[in-house]
Amino acid sequence: FKINSIPTKPIEGQKTGTSGLRKKVKVFMQENYLANWIQALFNSLPPEDYKNGVLVLGGDGRYFNREATQIIVKIAAGNGVGKILVGKEGILSTPAVSAVIRKRQANGGFIMSASHNPGGPEYDWGIKFNYSSGQPAPESITDKIYGNTLSISEIKIADIPDVDLSNVGVTKFGSFNVEVIDPVSDYLELLETVFDFQLIKGLVSRPDFRFTFDAMHAVAGAYATPIFVDKLGATPDSISNGIPLEDFGHGHPDPNLTYAKDLVNIMYAENGPDFGAASDGDGDRNMILGTSFFVTPSDSVAVIAANAKEAIPYFKNSVKGLARSMPTSGALDRVAEKLNLPFFEVPTGWKFFGNLMDAGNLSICGEESFGTGSDHIREKDGIWAVLAWLSIIAHRNKDTKPGEKLISVSDVVKEHWATYGRNFFSRYDYEECESEGANKMIEYLRECLSKSKSGDKYGSYVLQFADDFTYTDPVDGSVVSKQGVRFVFTDGSRIIYRLSGTGSAGATVRVYIEQFEPDVSKHDLDAQIALKPLIDLALSVSKLKEFTGREKPTVIT
């Protein structure tokens, strides 16, 4: 086939954030916008990483993915890629892309998704590039791509027809092959080696266990029926919003207490199900609920870590280490301490876990932002988290006879708090603020911390230290700074401020609040009540209302 060289000019603003490049669909639909970024990526990779190599391509089914698929395939061919594996209908969840890259020993892969951001002509689109072990590209690569977007002058695009995405199979164009793959099979095969599916099936098919999963019309819908229904015996009606739609059914596919309200209402209704879960746009996030009970993501990863060895075959022989992102609560730290496991604190964003996993130092990790996962792949994994929880509940109920009361999600969490203490945690998000005010607030906080010293009094809290988080990767020595302003108090309480790196308009301010409570008699308090004094302090220290003009957060988790 012929390779056309199309002249182009740099387009501003193509710098990737916490997780890939995210913009409004309209921005991506501008002439050459996507093509420039893809070409800049090839210009940034060493030729041996793609020439005659294998790449994976898929996404969450959102609006513009179909057009984008064709553009990416043609530019890949134009740059000498040997083979591209594309999910049928363009569908692959983020964890599935990571799994396919690893299984097929691909050089890397593209994920077409803006994750939890809404989709449709008026909303967001995004793209991420993952490397050969399946992990999100490190900053050294994304910085290079950005640099190349500023000097790009030519796009190399193959003159081949559009690829038919509707049937599994290989199409050859000379030396270039496109293989349309089933989005589920490689991923499911991997999960079957991680978990004891018979054990989980025993629980899910019990008449006294009611399971419900909300796929939020996002990519997990493509996985939910084959996995939960066909493999594990859940009833078909236990899956809601199970068909991926280009606009997620006008929803906001973010599994939290605000945007997954339908599921929350079902779980908190009288006589609600025993287990509820939801996942986000690209299937890497999860929310876990029991009957009238919400498991915070920070607690979730701690509970999974504490129970992994017993309940999940993959971890039977060893849990190598545990890690969390900086703003995630310290619940996991306590598990690491008790189990005597190596422990790491990394900046926000999954890309920082990959090196630790590749080096064999990390097995289970999580973020407060509804991300949980392990080194079975190099992305967070929503369905994995659901299966991990089902494994724990199944394991605990091995001997529960029909008619006896099941050990529930809340029983497991409360028992965990009784053993380890409870880390009350909450996050306040102020979405789409004016950038100027939000930036000024962070500058102001940086000034405050430079003037602060240990022993300073903040209401009834005494400062231990305040800083702007810097991380040195223990594996490759790379350093990232300015990852979040934190005030840490002598009793272990923390207040953290960051600006989001995943939005597509304005600035989103995130405030994270945490306080440890060893006293079991206080564990049943509502987090908002337990944390009230610290939350008030967080708002006044930052002068948040003044800087942003916001009275109330958009989302509380």
* Phi-psi domain of 268 (left: phi exceeds 0; alpha: psi -120 through 50; beta: other): alpha
Residue (274 or 280) nearer to Co ion, CB: 280
Residue 488: CB minimum distance to ligand VG1, A = 19
Q: What is the DSSP string of 372-436?
A: EEETTSSS--HHHHHHHHHHHHHHHTTTPPTTSPPPPHHHHHHHHHHHH-EEEEEEEEEEEE-HH
Report yes or no: 92 and 217 within 8 Å, Cβ to Cβ: no
- Nearest Cα to Cα of residue 33 among 65, 9, 17: 9
Among 238, 240, 256, 348, binds ligand VG1 (CB under 6 A): 348
Q: Residue 105's CB: how many other CB atoms inside 10 A? A: 9
Encoded one letter per residue, x for contact with ligand VG1 by CB under 6 A and - for no contact, window 306-345 reads -------------------x--------------------
Residue 502: CB minimum distance to ligand VG1, A = 3
**Tokens at residue 479, please?**
């350093």
**Is position 374 annotated as part of the catalytic site?**
no
Scanning 234-242, 278-286, 311-319, 390-398 for contacts with Co ion by CB under 5 A, the matching segment is: 278-286
Residue 501: CB minimum distance to ligand VG1, A = 3
Among 74, 88, 102, 116, binds ligand VG1 (CB under 6 A): 116
Q: Residue 447's CB: how many other CB atoms inside 10 A? A: 10
Does residue 115 interact with ligand VG1 by CB under 6 A? yes
Does residue 514 interact with ligand VG1 by CB under 6 A? no
Distance CA 28, CA 23 (A): 7
Among 88, 324, 376, 510, binds ligand VG1 (CB under 6 A): 510
Its sign, for the CA torsion 289, 187, 191, 189, is positive
Does residue 354 interact with ligand VG1 by CB under 6 A? no
Does residue 135 interact with ligand VG1 by CB under 6 A? no
Its sign, for the CA torsion 366, 254, 257, 429, is positive
Among 60, 196, 280, 299, binds Co ion (CB under 5 A): 280
Compute how many residues bind ligand VG1; rule: CB under 6 A: 18
Distance CA 23, CA 127 (A): 9
Residue (24 or 231) nearer to ligand VG1, CB: 24
Residue (148 or 548) nearer to ligand VG1, CB: 548
Does residue 486 interact with ligand VG1 by CB under 6 A? no
Residue (113 or 361) nearer to ligand VG1, CB: 113
Does residue 282 interact with Co ion by CB under 5 A? yes
Report yes or no: 35 and 155 within 8 Å, Cβ to Cβ: yes
Q: Which 3 state secondary structure label does DSSP give 28?
A: helix
**Among residues 115, 279, 363, 493, which one is catalytic?**
115
Distance CA 235, CA 228 (A): 8
Does residue 502 interact with ligand VG1 by CB under 6 A? yes
Pairing of strands 364-367, 322-325: parallel
- Nearest Cα to Cα of residue 554 among 433, 429, 432: 429
List, by residue number, the catalytic residues. 115
Footprint on this chain of ligand VG1 (rule: CB under 6 A): 18-19, 115-116, 280, 284-285, 325, 348-350, 367, 369, 371, 500-502, 510
